[in-house]
Amino acid sequence: MVKELTNGLRAHSVVEAVGTQESMMQAIRLTRPGGHVGFLGVGHGVQVPGMELFRSLVHLHGGPAPVRRFLPELIDLIWKREIDPGKVFDLQLPLDQAAAGYQAMDQREAIKVLLHP
């Protein structure tokens, strides 16, 4: 679909924020030659084949995702209903089902889980 939307050129810049092998390779392959892939956080066993990256002419940039730095403020904004987390969270569970939320994310049944009282 990205190729169709860009008339075959692919995206100039792509953000990879999932951290899996598949998502990293998809990000690289969706980026046009000379474009940039930005990844954040720590990947889960991600290995980028050197020759594929070399041939793609894609720039790969990454760094940490300091969640603890922003989390208190974001939780406060969500709690006050000043921002809508529904655009990020695709599953909501009671706090006592946190383990089920992690399991759903691990099994790729959910992307992000919102725990509530």
Tokens 């730095």 correspond to: 69
Of residues 25 and 44, the one with the higher pLDDT is 25
Token digits of residue 74: 């974001």
Mean pLDDT (whole number) for 69-77: 90
| Residues 58, 8 share a domain | yes
> What does the block give as tokens for 77?
């904004």
Does residue 80 have a pLDDT over 80? yes
Q: Tell me the DSSP string of 16-48.
A: E-S-SHHHHHHHHHTEEEEEEEEEES--SS---
Which CATH number belongs to the domain containing residue 18 in this structure?
Answer: 3.40.50.720
Cα separation, 99 vs 83, whole angstroms = 25
What is the per-residue pLDDT across 45-70, written as a single tens digit (0 to 9) for each?
899 999 999 999 999 999 888 888 88
Domain boundary among 21, 43, 63: 63
Provide the residue range defining the domain that includes 99.
Answer: 67-116
pTM of the predicted model, to two decimals?
A: 0.63
Give pLDDT, residue 33: 97
The pLDDT of residue 88 is above 90: no
Query: Is the same domain home to 86 and 103?
Result: yes
| Biggest CA-to-CA distance, the chain | 50
